[in-house]
Amino acid sequence: MTDAQNGHQARPEAADNLLTGTGKVMEMEAQTEKPRILFVDDSRLIRVAAQRILNEDFDIREAGDGEQAWQQLLDDPDIAVVITDLSMPALDGMGLLARIRRSDDEQLRNLPVIILTGKEDEEKAREDALAAGATDFLSKPFDSVQLLARTQAQASYRQLQQTTLSLEESALADPLTGLANQQHFLVQGSKELAFAKRHTSPFGLALINLEDFGTLYERHGKQAASRLLVESAQRLQELVRQEDTLARIGTTHFALILPFTTPKGARQMAERVIAQFCSSKLRVGRDDIAMRLSIGLVAETPDDSTTFKGMIQSVKQQLAAASQAGGGRVCGCEQQVEPLPAPDLMTALQWLAENKPERVAPHLPVLLGQLLPLLELARATLGLELTEGIEQLHLQAASGDAVIGHGG
């Protein structure tokens, strides 16, 4: 359910104004900050020459070989463009380029890299660098106009990359809480389920509802209600694992993707979240407000027939059951009670002597199986007419059913 469907917008106007003002300040800072460039060459004279050309427009960082450059890239995520020579000690330009393009960090992997080539064998070097993922090329000795123009072009491209990424991330985020939104939840959940299927690993979902929110909204107003939602989201985020994905998918509904989580683990997590979440109160005006949660759970080791849509339907049913039972509780992934092991005959007789037949009754099939050899011996030794009864006991023991009297 969206905020509009619930009849109100949860975001406080003051927060809107604050965020807008903060955004403008950040825009101004971004406009005045120079793009950061990493220039890599083992020649100090070449580095000094590049500094003179680029210093006015860029924040320059230097490295004397590929190893130094790689360490700076790992330590400084603000580097926007790399300009590197090919021939260097320790790690050459091709080695540095290969590391960048193989990086697990998507931002680093997509970093623009300009390769500096010498006149000798220039065509072959360009072909190899292009195949390895170079973004652009410059010949040494470089022309100042060309160096500045190529660097500005790649810095602008990097800024466009970052802007596009920010827009994509904002489209997948809930504007009030900053959590993942419903679209992100659906995409990420489908990916995690597919991974669990491939690796035969357990996978779970939790659906969380803030109880009594409508009453709180009517009593305290929109801004207080929005504050409650933001505070609740922060509390929940603190209580879940780093590998879990928490999303706000409705006005008062949150969803939690639980990779590598068994039914027992999901249940323990949900009970801990409810206990810790409800243990503290939020001050609104003169009131201390204790928020209540209901949580629905599903968890399983999925197979080819498992679908994310089907799991969502199941977890919705569990949440509805929790709310209908009064809220403030967990439904789903109930602990299965392991049956007690069957007693021996002496213990069973002791229980009967203590007038505890209910403790014996669940174990009758096993106990009768233990008794059969004794009855067989009695029939053979004492000549008792037990044939029909023994045959019936054999049948009952084999089927696993208890022998219950039928009234005569």
- Contact indicator for 323, 336 with CB cutoff of 8 Å: no
User: Given pLDDT bands bounded at 50, 70 and 90, which one contains residue 388?
Assistant: low
Q: What is the pLDDT of residue 71?
A: 92
- 103, with CB counted inside 10 A (0-12, 13-18, 19+), is middle
Tokens of 188: 């990420």
Residue 373, pLDDT above cutoff 70: yes
Q: What is the pLDDT of residue 391?
A: 65
Residue 81, pLDDT above cutoff 90: yes
Q: What is the pLDDT of residue 339?
A: 54
Of 121-125, 179-183, 255-259, give the lowest mean pLDDT range: 121-125
Task: Pinpoint the residues of the chain covered by CATH 3.30.70.270.
Answer: 182-331
Q: What is the pLDDT of residue 263?
A: 93
Q: What is the Cα 48 distance to its own chain's centre?
A: 47
CATH domain 34-169 topology: Rossmann fold (3.40.50)
Q: Quote the CA–CA distance of 157 and 165 in Å, as a whole number.
A: 12
Cβ–Cβ contacts within 10 Å for residue 257, how many?
Answer: 25
Looking from the CA of 16 toward its CB, the CA atoms found within 13 Å total 8
Q: Quote the CA–CA distance of 210 and 228 in Å, as a whole number.
A: 10
Q: Quote the CA–CA distance of 181 and 370 in Å, as a whole number.
A: 60
Q: What is the pLDDT of residue 311?
A: 95
Question: Which CATH architecture best describes the domain 182-331?
Answer: 2-Layer Sandwich (3.30)
Report the share of the chain in percent with pLDDT over 90: 36
| Average pLDDT value for residue range 256-278 | 91
Q: What is the pLDDT of residue 125?
A: 76
Residue 395, pLDDT above cutoff 80: no
Of 5-9, 101-105, 224-228, 356-360, give the lowest mean pLDDT range: 5-9
Q: What is the Cα 275 distance to its own chain's centre?
A: 22
- Contact indicator for 214, 221 with CB cutoff of 8 Å: no
| Average pLDDT value for residue range 136-159 | 87
Residue 154, pLDDT above cutoff 70: yes
Stronger pLDDT, 395 or 347, i.e. the higher one: 347
Q: What is the pLDDT of residue 371?
A: 74
| Average pLDDT value for residue range 26-44 | 74
Residue 370, pLDDT above cutoff 50: yes
Q: What is the pLDDT of residue 5?
A: 38
- The C-alpha angle 164, 169, 171, rounded to 5 degrees, equals 95
Q: What is the pLDDT of residue 22?
A: 39
Tokens of 352: 């009967």
User: In the predicted model, what is the mean pLDDT of the chain?
Assistant: 80
Residue with tokens 């000094």: 48
Q: 180 forms bridges with which residues in the sheet?
A: 173, 247
The pLDDT tens digits of the residues spanning 191-226 come to 999 999 999 999 999 999 988 787 777 777 888 888
Regarding pTM above 0.75, the answer is: no
Q: What is the pLDDT of residue 397?
A: 54
Q: What is the pLDDT of residue 9?
A: 34
Highest mean pLDDT among 126-130, 301-305, 384-388: 301-305
Task: Pinpoint the residues of the chain covered by CATH 3.40.50.2300.
Answer: 34-169
The pLDDT tens digits of the residues spanning 101-120 come to 998 888 888 899 999 887 55
Residue 21, pLDDT above cutoff 60: no
